[in-house]
Chains A and B, each alone.
Chain A
Amino acid sequence: MQILENYSYRERYLAANLIVDIVVAVYYSQAVLSLSVDEYGEIGRIIVKTIVLAILLSLVVFGFLCRDKKQALDERDMRVRAYGNGIGYWVLTILMMFLMGQFLLEDSVFRGTSMIEYALNTKIPLYHFHAMLFALITADTARTLSQLIRYRRGYE
Chain B
Amino acid sequence: MKEAKLSNQVKLLRLQHGDITQAQLAKAVGVTRQTILAIEGNKYSPSLELAFRIAKYFDEPLESVFQYED
B-binding residues in A (CB < 8 A): 8, 10, 71, 74-77, 151, 153-156
Contacts of B32 in A (CB 8 A): 8, 10, 71, 74, 76-77
For the complex formed, measure the closest distance between the CB of B56 and the CB atoms of chain A, giving whole angstroms. 16
Chain B: interface residue total (CB-CB under 8 A): 15
The reply to whether the CB of B20 lies closer than 8 angstroms to some CB of chain A is no
* Chain B residues proximal to chain A, CB less than 8 Å: 30-35, 37-38, 41, 43-47, 50
A-B residue pairs, 4 tightest by C-beta: A74-B31, A154-B43, A76-B35, A8-B34
Q: Can you list 25 A-B pairs with a CB-CB distance of less than 8 A? A: A8-B32, A8-B34, A10-B32, A10-B34, A74-B30, A74-B31, A74-B32, A75-B31, A75-B35, A75-B46, A75-B47, A75-B50, A76-B31, A76-B34, A76-B35, A76-B38, A151-B34, A153-B43, A154-B38, A154-B43, A154-B44, A155-B38, A155-B44, A156-B44, A156-B45
From residue B23, how far is it (CB to closest CB) to chain A in Å? 11
In the complex, are the beta carbons of B35 and A155 less than 8 A apart?
Answer: no
Q: How far is the CA of A71 from the CA of B34 in the complex (A)?
A: 11
